[in-house]
Each structure stands twice: as C-alpha cells, then as structure tokens.
Amino acid sequence: MHSKSIAELAQGLRAGEFTSVELTRAYLDRIAEHNPALNCFVSVCEEAALQEAKLADRRIRAGDAGDLIGIPIVHKDIFCTDGVKTSCGSKMLDNFVAPYDAHVVAQLKQAGAVMLGKANMDEFAMGSSNENSFYGPVRNPWKLICVPGGSSGGSAAAVAARLCVAATGTDTGGSIRQPAAFCGITGLKPTYGRVSRYGMIAFASSLDQGGPMARSAADAAALLQAMAGFDTHDSTSAEQPVPDYSASLNDDLKGLRIGVPKEYMGEGLDSAIAESIQLALNEFTRLGAELVEISLPNTHLGIPTYYVVAPAECSSNLSRFDGVRYGYRCSDPQDLEDLYKRSRGEGFGAEVKRRIMIGTYALSAGYYDAYYLKAQQIRHLISDDFRAAFEKVDVIMGPTAPSTAFEIGEKSDDPVTMYLSDIYTIAVNLAGLPGISVPVRPVDGMPVGLQMIGNYFDEARLLNVAHQLQQVTDWHSASPAGFE
C-alpha cells in the first residue's frame, strides 16, 4: 500500500479494499522498522493515529468522499499540535506540549488526514542539512551517510522512504525545496500568505511559509488544497480565493514560456546537475513549451541579504524563549539575569546562537541602517528582477541546489559553505513568490531537483507544469534501495 498515490489510496479506501486503520497500521510498522536508521521522527503518535484512522473509517462508511480522509501524513515538528510535543528540533522546547493546533494542522485534521507523528528538523528551522537538531541528524534514505537537506529534512526523508504518504514542511530560504531535491520528492513553497502561519513557530516572520511535501505534484496539490486559505488568526494571511489545484493538473503546456536564468546555469553549478536540468527542460519543449533565456542580475545578492534579514527577525522572534514562561529553564538560577543567560545558553544550539548574535548586531544602534535597512532595499531589487522577468515568461526554471546531497559532517564546520546550498532558493522567499522542486534525472545514484518559480498565487500553474513533466517521465517514482 505504501507505493500508492493519495488518489489511489482514497479510491481503495472508498471501495473497501482496505481500511484507514489497516493503512495506518502498515505505515506505523514501516516507521518502527526504518526510523531507527533514518531518525526522521521526533514523536510517533501511534495510539492517536489509530484513533484518528477509526474516525476516518466512520466518515468513509457514512459516504464522506474527501480526498484526504484516512490518509496518513506527518507534520514537521514546527507546527503546534494539541496535546503533542512541539519541539522545533530544540532542547529549548523539548518539554513543550502545545495547547492548540496550528491552522495547517487543524485544516488537515478537518480534511480527515491521519497524523502519524512529528518530523525531525533543524533547530528552529535554521539549517540546510538537518544536522542542527537536538535529536540528532536525519539521514538520507538514498545514502545513509548523506544529509537529507534542511530544515524540513525529517519530512523529506519520511516521504522518500515511504514512511508516510505526504508531509508538511516550512520554507524560509529553501527548507522545503532543497530537502525535496536531496531526497527525490516533490516539495512546494507557496506564495507568502497563501498558507497561514498561525501556530507555526516563527523563525523569520516575513519569509516563513508552510507547504506540502509529497511524492508527486498531484499529491502535493491534494495536500495544498486543505492547507491553503485565509485565516483571521494570521495578519499576513492573504484573503485570496483558493482554486481547485487538481482541476488544472492536466492542462497542456503549448505556448508556455519558460524563463531560464543565465545566473542559475553558470559558475558554481555541478556540470552533471546542469545536464539533468537541461534534459528536463528538453522534455518541456517536446510538450510545446518555449525556452527563453532571462537574467536575474541581483541573484548574487540573495544570500548576503537573506543572512541579514533572517537572523534579524530570528533575533526578535526567539527573544521570547527566556526560561520564564515555557520551555527549557536552567536549574538553580542565582538571579533573573542568570536565569536568562543560562536558560538561553543551555537551551539553544550553536547555529541558533550564531544567527541570534548576527541578527542582534544587525539591529543594534548604529548598524541598523548599514545592515538591516540596506538588506531590505536590496530585497526590493531582487523582487523587481522577478517582476521584470514575469513580463516576458510564465514560469522560471533552474536547479534547486548546486549539488546533490553531501555527507553528514562535510560542511558542518564551515557555515558559509553550508549557506551556499540555498543559493538558488533564497531569492524566492525574499520576493514572496511560490516555488516547487521536482525530481529529475539522478546523478551518481543521488536525486537532483528542478526548481520551478511562479508568479504570485500561481501555485496551480506550477503544479500543472510539474504534473505534466511527471506524466512523461518516471524520475519522481523511484524509491531508495531498501525502502521500496
């Protein structure tokens, strides 16, 4: 059953070929078998999952035909889940049990999806490799000595290893798309505001966005259908109608103009990955699309801009974790100052501390104008690049990451080299645009991702374009050895 799509599973459930309880039990058994090697999960909610599956079976017997009813999924451990630990991959929140559901969790629960558990992640979503988790690194199911990407590495690895049908992730600078590329799955970062951030623990509030991670574009469309929509609890939630994302999946691509940025296909990109990307682009020309070379001249400013804006916002957001109200508290503090210093010093990991310090410095008196304000001005230039490009093309395509998954520990001592893993994804977050990563031809047995970037609220087109590629290729259907 674990090889079936959401649509196939939904059909089987409605036809009575199997029950949601049986399906959920099968996935729980796979988790018990494979998670010790992968470390995908922070929490496995076996009892609650089986109870949710029983409720789903009742809904199905009553004639409810929702696409996600009874489908087992996993939530990244950044989404608050009522009564379940929500750790954000950090010692700081290792003892935090959320008293409410995030909007995304509530929407998927209402749609009938069954939550198998909470996925491991880089601490507070800060990382590109999933090595920064308090619970240890997640391993890539394609090669266990390699990283799965981050920060949504637990979600990506769980989907790739067929430990769940689909998963939720969050993307601040590529944290859905890059792990999707490294693990050979489909990952969509929606337009900023398309999916509510209510109950999603904040890293950088102007960049964070939740989205679906699945094996295919069709499955991602089904998940996004439940996740998207206006939420009065989130002041940045977009009051935009939600289209039927599955309805346009089979639209043909004749006349589609695909922009290929020259900045994405040059220096710094592995030549074998460039060949895989070009092979996928050639498939689109056979489907009737037109390739157009474009320029995004401020691409090189994306990383320095991001690593001022994001740490500044993280410095502000993480100031609430002080050992007083909830979360980790040091033992036997001498006074209030000692409580603050030791709770934060002991509760946060090295990468989180690094970004807090950078952000605090950038926001400090005398440096705000030179760093944070300047970064916001450059952010506008990056957005202007995309606006100009979308006057000429419908979709922008290029690599998701400059390399395939690297080995655990290979870049952990060099933060700057690690940050370069997100060179093609960060600008999308700075501009607030939607982006999706889909698998293309592997390199040396490791997955490679093609990134597609759309105009604002054009997720339906991205899903359509991705689906059409997946109709004529089988790259997305490959399974890592040992997890078939």
Q: Is residue 85 part of a domain?
A: yes
- CATH, residue 104: 3.90.1300.10
Given a contact cutoff of 8 angstroms between Cβ atoms, the answer to whether 77 and 88 are in contact is yes
Among the options 76, 109, 118, 411, which is catalytic? Answer: 76
Any catalytic annotation for residue 109?
no
How many domains does the chain divide into? 1
* Parent domain of 203: 6-254+466-477
Closest alpha carbon to 200 in 105, 311, 67: 105
Q: Is residue 436 part of a domain?
A: no
Given a contact cutoff of 8 angstroms between Cβ atoms, the answer to whether 91 and 139 are in contact is no
What type of residue sits at position 392? K
The three-class DSSP label of residue 107 is: helix
Given a contact cutoff of 8 angstroms between Cβ atoms, the answer to whether 125 and 172 are in contact is yes
Q: Is residue 396 part of a domain?
A: no
Tens-digit pLDDT profile for residues 335-351: 999 999 999 999 999 99
Q: Is residue 115 part of a domain?
A: yes
CA distance 137 to 409: 10
Q: Is residue 55 part of a domain?
A: yes
Among the options 20, 87, 90, 151, which is catalytic? Answer: 151
Q: Is residue 48 part of a domain?
A: yes
CA distance 76 to 279: 32
Give the chain's length: 484
H-helix segments, 202-326: 217-227, 271-286, 302-317
Given a contact cutoff of 8 angstroms between Cβ atoms, the answer to whether 180 and 187 are in contact is yes
What torsion, rounded to 10 degrees, do the Cα atoms 305, 309, 311, 317 define?
Answer: -170
pLDDT at position 9: 97
Strand 257-261 versus strand 290-294 pairing type: parallel
Q: Sheet harboring 72-76: ordered strands across?
A: 41-44, 114-119, 72-76, 166-170, 210-214, 186-189, 435-443, 446-453, 395-399, 257-261, 290-294
pLDDT at position 416: 80
Any catalytic annotation for residue 216?
no
Given a contact cutoff of 8 angstroms between Cβ atoms, the answer to whether 161 and 40 are in contact is yes
What torsion, rounded to 10 degrees, do the Cα atoms 67, 6, 470, 456 define?
Answer: 50
Low-confidence ranges of the chain (pLDDT < 50): none
Q: The tokens of 36 are what?
A: 């010790």
Closest alpha carbon to 212 in 477, 35, 466: 466
pLDDT at position 412: 86
Q: The tokens of 247 are what?
A: 């309805």
Any catalytic annotation for residue 151?
yes
Q: Is residue 176 part of a domain?
A: yes
What torsion, rounded to 10 degrees, do the Cα atoms 213, 214, 216, 218 define?
Answer: -80
Closest alpha carbon to 34 in 165, 147, 141: 141
Q: Is residue 408 part of a domain?
A: no
Closest alpha carbon to 173 in 157, 149, 141, 193: 149
DSSP-assigned letters across all residues of 9-66: HHHHHHHTSS-HHHHHHHHHHHHHHHHHHH--EEEE-HHHHHHHHHHHHHHHHTT---
pLDDT at position 266: 85
Among the options 87, 175, 421, 437, which is catalytic? Answer: 175
CA distance 181 to 466: 14
Q: Check the CA dihedral 310-124-452-180 and report its sign.
A: positive
Radius of gyration of the chain, Cα coordinates, nearest whole angstrom = 21
